[in-house]
Amino acid sequence: MTLPLPFDNSYARLPDRFYARVAPTAVEAPRLVRLNRPLAHELGLDPDALEAPGGIEVLAGRRVPEGAEPLAAAYAGHQFGQFVPQLGDGRAILLGEVVGRDGRRRDIQLKGSGPTPFSRRGDGRAALGPVLREYLLSESMHALGIPTTRALAAVTTGERVIRETVLPGAILTRVASSHIRVGTFQFFAARGDVEGLRTLADHVLARHDPEAAAAEQPYRALLEGVVRRQAELVARWLHVGFIHGVMNTDNMSIAGETIDYGPCAFLDAYDPATAFSSIDRHGRYAYGNQPRIALWNLTRLAEALVPLLAEDEAAGVAQAEAARGGFAGQFETAYFGGLRGKLGLTTARDGDAELASDLLKAMAENGADFTLTFRRLCEAVPGAEGGPAAVEAVRGLFIDPTAYDRWAEGWHRRLADEPGDAAARSRAMRAVNPAYIPRNHRVEEMIEAAVERQDFGPFETLLTILTRPYEDQPRFARYAEAPEGGGRGYRTFCGT
């Protein structure tokens, strides 16, 4: 029986040089680990059918469903600052696009579904650990309210993949507003293919920026839209202590979603120089560098779009520079606006940025845990129910508690100028300061249990906790705790 999936594949209707048509490689013995039933329903899909044997075969790439047009997209990219003119989907295959119940068009992609013409001698497969990491972290980011790709399903393949050791194989079904990247534009720009560049830009305008398509200068409006989305996205990463780990231009989504969760991680002890990725030896993609790198990537996009911005190259460069120039102001507005909310401030006043920066500086100097500090501030609001015990709970996170005391004096004075009562302020702060993030040591415990013992209980437990990150969950309180040593020395790997 054919599994009904309502595909409408706009990217597959673009010229052949945009992709390679390739079917997934069948696997031996697929087994469903997790189906995201709420997301399936949102996409207009039948969860029961996807959990049935025929549906699992689709999610594992054993069967291509009716209406799918599987392809591997072509793109280029700067990887750690070095340009590679052809990368492409080396272990991911786009099955097609569906329009969900909300009217939004989204890609359905199988990640780890076998080699493609872009695999560059790779096997095109994925190991179980990275698949579970991306499922868990992308769904956590969604629950935190941060734009992201989503995980529809994870399946084991019954096969082994060889990395540094032999590991169980798996496939992730990833859902995205699109998989078009900065590197997709670079692919055509590097070839001098202005016609392809224009076709891609028109596709993006129709798909992501229909209002910009009607602008007087639609391609500049397209660039401005991407700049705005990325400025807001990176600000929101910083608000929760997220470190992407590999912000290459081929990992920056035009749609403004967090994409590719290979070596990502979350801050424990606050230090803006933190870089967890084992391949980021010089801290290029460290937590505090992420805004600068986002702008660097956007500059590469602006360069690629120059031929579309004006007939004269100098005029095109000027247009590109003006469009990318909006990033700094948009980022600062989003970043400090979010910090203001995390501190319980609903009005904007001079000195707010300095107040927030002074707290972060004190946290860095005193090894304070990022997430716990902001969460405990919710109860330490003057007049809130937490009282002196809540204040001591925050102070105890600082090596020198008096550093917090000195900062809190200014915070209290600032709160005195705010409207509303303490209880309402505390509730508002809890809505933006999560109690639970994917603590790195818990994620590693989950992966070890699944890979070494085929025990998916820790995965399910973390998923339950992290999909309600702003709620107090007393029975899971230990999952909010920081690791010993503040997480220093932790390393992540790209998982390819």
Q: Give how far Cα 233 sits from Cα of 89, 149, 286, 492, Å.
A: 24, 13, 16, 22
Q: Check if the beta carbon of residue 136 is closer than 8 Å to that of residue 463.
A: yes
Take residue 233 and report the two structure tokens written for it: 């996205």
**CA 321 to centroid of chain Cα atoms:** 26
Instruction: Say how far apart CA 471 and CA 473 lie, in whole Å.
Output: 6
Instruction: Say how far apart CA 382 and CA 422 lie, in whole Å.
Output: 7
Q: Cβ atoms within 10 A of the Cβ of 80, count?
A: 13
Contacts of 115 (CB under 8 A, 6+ apart): 25, 90, 91, 122, 123, 124
Q: Which amino acid makes up residue 416?
A: A
In order, the DSSP letters of 416-428 are: TTS-S-HHHHHHH
Q: Check if the beta carbon of residue 79 is closer than 8 Å to that of residue 186.
A: no
Q: Provide φ and ψ at 174, rounded to 5°.
A: -105, 140
Q: Give how far Cα 141 sits from Cα of 170, 319, 445, Å.
A: 21, 34, 19
Q: Which is the catalytic residue, given 89, 107, 209, 250?
A: 250
Instruction: Say how far apart CA 61 and CA 417 lie, in whole Å.
Output: 59
Dihedral angle computed from the Cα positions of residues 369, 289, 274 and 371, in that order, rounded to the nearest 10 degrees:
20
Dihedral angle computed from the Cα positions of residues 153, 154, 157 and 160, in that order, rounded to the nearest 10 degrees:
150
Residue bearing tokens 């839209």? 225
Q: Is 89 a catalytic residue?
A: no
Instruction: Say how far apart CA 261 and CA 137 lie, in whole Å.
Output: 7
Q: Check if the beta carbon of residue 189 is closer than 8 Å to that of residue 167.
A: no
**Angle at which helices 218-240 and 327-342 cross, to 10°:** 30
Beta bridge partners of residue 167, listed in sequence order: 161
204, burial (CB in 10 Å: exposed 0-12, middle 13-18, buried 19+): buried
Q: Check if the beta carbon of residue 174 is closer than 8 Å to that of residue 92.
A: yes
Instruction: Say how far apart CA 306 and CA 192 lie, in whole Å.
Output: 11
Rg (CA), the chain: 23
DSSP-based three-state secondary structure for 314: helix
Instruction: Say how far apart CA 90 and CA 78 lie, in whole Å.
Output: 16
> Which amino acids are annotated catalytic?
250
